Amino acid sequence: MTSGPKLVSILRQGSYLIASIHTALDDTQMVRFREDLVEQIGQHRSRGVIIDVAALDVLDSFGALTLRTIAEMARLRGALTVIVGIQPDVAFAMVSLGMATGDVTTLLDLEEGLAFLDSRTRWASAGTARRPTPA
């Protein structure tokens, strides 16, 4: 993502990474995004990743699959992933076309995502037995 306008921004916020996708990505760009993100998780020792897709008005099946893969890879590298900001139309299209996000948590917006990661990581680090309510 070094040349041309940035299609995805990956920002560090405390121990989380916030990746915002600004426009629809083709398959190559999607793969590139996945590599960048997983790389940065290690660099910043992130505990959580928020992928913000609020700007997307379409999401193809490869995109959905890649998001799922990212979540799985991030988990293996020790970070919890949430997807936020799926638009109503996109949500319904995804369901209609049978594109699932698997076990990945999806939330309304960035604020929700941060709150969710806070509650999850605090729970993990404090080691208390209180389970957060399932989303």
Partner 1 sequence: MTNDQDRFLAGGATEDAVGLRRTADEELLPQLVAHLREHRTKLRHDWAFRITDAGLLRAMTPQEMAAETTSVYDNYVEVLETGSVEALQRYAKNLSERIIPRGVETHEVLGIVLLLRDVLARSLFEKYQVDFSLLNRVLDAYEPAANRIANTVAVSFVEERERVIRQQQDSIRELSTPVLPVRERLLILPIIGVLDSERARQLTEQLLTGIRTHRAKVVVIDITGVPDVDEAVADHLVRTVDASRLMGASVIITGLSPLIAQTLVTIGVDLSKMDTIGDLQGGLEEAERLLGYIVGREGGVSGP
- Cα angle 114, 117, 118 (rounded to 5 degrees) comes to 85
From candidates 109, 118, 122, 124, binder to partner 1 by CB under 8 A = 109
Can residue 60 be called a binding residue for partner 1 (CB under 8 A)?
Answer: no
Count residues binding partner 1 (CB under 8 A).
Answer: 19
Neighbours of 63 (CB within 10 A): 23
Can residue 112 be called a binding residue for partner 1 (CB under 8 A)?
Answer: yes
Minimum distance from residue 114 beta carbon to partner 1 (Å): 13
Give the x-and-dash track for 76-105 against partner 1 (CB under 8 A): --------x-xxxx-xx-xxx----x----
Can residue 108 be called a binding residue for partner 1 (CB under 8 A)?
Answer: yes
Q: Which residues make up the interface to partner 1 (CB under 8 A)?
A: 84, 86-89, 91-92, 94-96, 101, 106-109, 112, 133-135
